[in-house]
Amino acid sequence: MNMTEFSKKHVDSCRFCWMCHHICPIGNATGQERNTARARALGISLVNRDAIALEEIIDNIYECATCSACAHTCVTGWDPVLFTREARLKAALAGALPEYINILIDNCLDTGNAYGKEDISPELKEIISKHGEKTDTLLWLGTDARYMAPAQGINAVRVMEKYAPSFTVLEDEPDCGTHLDFLIGTAEETKNIMQSAADIMNNYTKVVIFDPADAKTIKRAFGEMGIELSCEAVTFTSFLAPLAKGEKTLRDAAIQDAFQLSRELGETEPIREIVSKYAYIREFLLNGEETVWAGNILMSRYMGRVIKKVAEMRISNAESIGAKYIITESVGEYVSLKSVKQDKIGIIALENLILGEY
């Protein structure tokens, strides 16, 4: 595999030690060594040395959530996510992707979302239509909220109606590249999708990004791909933190930090500022930058049982600290956590908390 020298350095410098062994949410869910960052580094190292074919480990390459918990934990500074993402790109260029990944990629290119959806729900379309007029502020709902969790998209609009005097929502909002970036990384197709989204955003003074996964793409990946934003891009949580007002009624609420905000963008306080107005916080043992990912919608399309186990384990974490609720700022993690049938821990999306509907 013809990897860049920078990625090769990270692969070859990995000592295949056990430092990050405990922190991988996928590895913890499956209990399989193959799912640890250590094993993935070893596999890619073997491919680079022509000891095995890329096709032999490609499924494992897509079992990584790219949550960067391993990279954050590694005190020697090596980044398993870096070479995992590059391996995906190289596999795409070599035509070595699994068919289930090719389907998701084709969906992104054909319909603008990995799920192959072409229409949003009538209810979401109706509330969006009330904010079609051009203003200075654009609310960017994101693909997951638009197609897979429309109730959360509706509630995001309702929260904005409560605290923002005027804003715009696009009925034909395009993909900003989050899914394709996850699937094949820095390919030309990914850059083109990101650029098209940026061109639309640059017609506004401020863009409020609802989904943390999209926030990482827009606030970080755009720059890494050389795409410039002339607008101010802010997260939904940072926008609402100084505005939201409420009454403390919930006790023992654990905050499920989205790694895209806490670990990738260094944003941990806005959600706490908001939640503290409505609930008494009981922190997870691993919170903030140390957060443990609780699943998403995209990976559940091809490894649903594992992603459900990931969510179950995070709910178990909440039980172990005596929490009664989990408050999440991520669309994907909310859907993942809600998919678990249990009655011990209440799962509340941040927008529902603000609206008092839970």
**Structure pTM?**
0.95
How high is the pLDDT of residue 15? 66
pLDDT band at 39 (very low <50, low <70, confident <90, very high): confident
Asked which of 61-75, 210-224, 285-299 is least confident by mean pLDDT, the reply is 61-75
Q: How confident is the model at residue 40 (pLDDT cuts 50, 70, 90)?
A: confident
CATH 3.40.50 location in the chain:
122-240, 250-355
Whether residue 16 is predicted with pLDDT greater than 80 in this model: the reply is: no
From residue 355, alpha-carbon distances to 53, 245, 332, 346 in Å are 52, 10, 19, 16
* Nearest residue to 350 via CA among 251, 244, 232, 267: 244
Which helix (H) or strand (E) covers residue 349, if one does? strand 346-349
Q: What is the DSSP letter of 223?
A: H
pLDDT of residue 225: 95
Rounded mean pLDDT of 34-57? Answer: 88
Q: Look at residues 182, 216, 184, 178 and name the one whose alpha carbon lies nearest to residue 197.
A: 178
The predicted pLDDT at position 84 comes to: 93
Rounded to 5°, the CA angle 221-225-229 comes to 75
Residues 6+ apart with CB under 8 A from 355: 155, 158, 159, 162
pLDDT, tens digit (0-9, with 9 covering 90-100), for 143-182: 999 999 999 999 999 999 999 989 999 999 999 999 999 9
Q: Please state the separation of Cα 256 from the chain's center in Å.
A: 12
Class of domain 250-355: alpha beta
Say whether 94 sits in a helix, a strand or coil: coil
Q: What band does 79 get if pLDDT is binned at 50, 70 and 90?
A: confident
Question: In this structure, which amino acid lies at residue 309?
Answer: K
For residue 269, give the nearest of 242, 296, 294 by alpha carbon.
242
Q: Which CATH number applies to 122-240?
A: 3.40.50
Mean of pLDDT values over 62-76: 91
Q: How high does pLDDT run on average in the chain?
A: 94
Q: Which DSSP state fits 173?
A: P
Q: State the number of CA atoms in the 13 A half-sphere of 37 facing the CB.
A: 31
Query: Per residue in 216-255, pLDDT tens?
Result: 999 999 999 999 999 999 999 999 999 999 999 999 999 9
Residue 206 burial (CB count, 10 A): 17
* Beta strands, E only, 21-144: 137-140
Going by C-beta distance under 8 Å and a sequence separation of 6 or more, which residues neighbour residue 99?
none
- Least confident span in 34-48, 115-129, 218-232: 34-48
